[in-house]
Amino acid sequence: MLVLRHIRQLITCAGAAHRGRSLSGVAAIVAGAVAAAGVRIVFAGRDADLPPAIAAAADAQVIDAARYSVVPGFVDAHTHAMFAGDRRDELRRRLAGATYPEIAAAGGGIVATVAATRAASDRDLVEATRRRLDEMLACGTTTAEIKSGYGLDVESELKMLRAIRTLDASHPIDIVATFLGAHEIPLEYRTRRHDYVRLVIDEMLPRVADERLAEWCDVFCETNVFTPDESHRILEAGLRRGLNARIHADELGPSGGSLVAAAVGARSADHLIFVPEDGIRAMGDANVIATLLPSAAFYLKLGRFAPARALIDAGVPVALATDVNPGGGFSPSMPFAMTLACFAMGMTFEESLAAATINGARSLDRADTIGSLEAGKLMDAVLIAGDPIDLIRVGAASIGGVIKRGRRMSIAGPEDPAYP
Ligand code: NIG
Ligand code: FE
């Protein structure tokens, strides 16, 4: 039994759907307590209401958390954390004025990572990704989605998904796997793109489904990548094979992805920097979650961010994620994504916290087990030195501890060269 007592401020994020302005569960409880038996929470609420049997349990490990606030562990619902190679150079070129399409045309971008990832051994992929997951855990992430999509041939896509499975079994972070064979048209298929779409649908998807390597199917729906029609067909094929749908939509321009998401009943449409008015309405009607990735818009220097307020006002639940990837996903930190949500997308701190926790869990269909601190859910929590809003003090060491499935995690210190 693990018992956190006298918590400075406890925010449980428990409650109903976090949409519109009716956010619930985000009011801070002063002098709170959370208790877990094994991996599961048995109590979360006011310390004064902690049942005496729990407080006095013989095996109770009681932590006086008077200096700490406690929030649910972060659920990072969109990452490309598995990759080989290094594209830091693209950041420098962007800072010198190059755009994403210019960098891609010069041989950079996704295809550069595909070449490195195809050449990498299973072991190298696992170990490089493990270090990234360590960083994410240190920033408070306790569940993360990881996509394939840097293999783009049958065996390399399966290699990535098997490596993701290996990490799920051996890293404290719980991992949710997404098949993203439709991340880009690989160079060898550029003159016959229809053959590549056929490869994804007829060869990759059946293998992924047979080996149960992924829960989700995703597509990069974008001008010059996959069209709305191709995206629709790929996501429908995934659904027929038992893979739920999510989509990269309206990231670099109004690509039509939000409308595809609504039409196929995707759980989530992601990015949405250029989502048009009718896309927002369609998502609201079809109950699609908007998973927003402001750190990517920031590092890609897109000069604008997704219209979070318009989405929230239209009744679309908003989740936040990091988009960790070798190009524009340069920050492993959910608190940094929350900071941008607050200062670049007009969200309140409470909305950003719900978006990083319970709505991330909803985006991954995990809201029954994670995303809030309530009896019956997993004991995944973040301790903050100070008040919860100290999470957005970028650069301060505000994460005072991370608890994953009831176990206190050791967090890499500054002397630990964790960076890949
Ligand atoms: O979410 N948009 C497509 N995929 C990533 C970028 C991947 C990369 O640049 O390697 C994204 O932004
Ligand atoms: Fe992405």
Q: What number is the average pLDDT over the span 327-349?
A: 97
**246-251 average pLDDT score:** 98
* Residue range 345-350: mean pLDDT, rounded: 95
pLDDT at 415 over 50: no
Report how far apart the first and last C-alpha atoms of the chain are (Å, whole number): 35
Six-digit token pair at 184? 């880009």
Distance CA 136, CA 115 (A): 25
What is the pLDDT, as a whole number, of residue 26? Answer: 83
Ligand whose nearest atom lies closest to the CA of 325: 1
Q: What is the pLDDT of residues 78-88, one digit of tens each?
A: 999 999 999 99
Q: 205-231 pLDDT, tens per residue? A: 999 999 999 999 999 999 999 999 999
Per-residue pLDDT at 22 exceeds 60? no
In sequence order, the β-bridge partners of residue 46 are 32
87 in ligand 1 pocket by Cβ < 6 Å?
no
Contacts of 61 (CB under 8 A, 6+ apart): 1, 2, 3
| Cβ contact 290:262 at 8 Å | no
Q: Which CATH class is domain 75-363?
A: alpha beta
* Residue type for position 406: G
DSSP-assigned letter for residue 204: I
Does ligand 1 lie within 6 Å of residue 323's CB atom? yes
Beta strand segments in 125-227, E: 141-147, 174-182, 216-219
Regarding the beta carbon of 78 and ligand 1, being less than 6 Å apart is answered no
Check: CB of residue 249 under 8 Å from CB of residue 279. yes
Mean pLDDT across the chain: 94
| pLDDT, mean of residues 138-144 | 98
Residues less than 5 Å from ion ligand 2, measured at CB: 323
pTM: 0.96
What distance in Å separates the CA atoms of residue 130 and residue 324, rounded to the nearest whole number? 13
The domain segmentation of the chain, as residue ranges, is 2-73+371-409, 75-363
pLDDT tens, 170-196?
Answer: 999 999 999 999 999 999 999 999 999
Measured CA to CA, the distance from residue 244 to residue 248 in angstroms comes to 14
User: Would strands 399-404 and 29-37 be described as parallel, antiparallel, or unpaired?
Assistant: unpaired
The sign of the CA dihedral 61, 62, 64, 68 is positive
Pocket test for ligand 1, best of 110, 185, 255, 293 (most atoms within 8 A of CB): 110
| 270 C-alpha to ligand 2 centroid (Å) | 8
Pocket test for ligand 1, best of 78, 79, 80 (most atoms within 8 A of CB): 80
- Give the pLDDT of residue 107: 87
Fold (CATH) for 2-73+371-409: Urease, subunit C; domain 1 (2.30.40)
Q: What residues does 217 pair with on adjacent strands?
A: 179, 245
Q: Report, as an integer, the average pLDDT of 91-101.
A: 91
Amino acid identity of 81? A
Tokens at 122, concatenated: 């299973």
Structure tokens, 350? 């409470």
pLDDT digits (tens, 9 = 90+) for 266-316: 999 999 999 999 999 999 999 999 999 999 999 999 999 999 999 999 999
Regarding the beta carbon of 411 and ligand 1, being less than 6 Å apart is answered: no
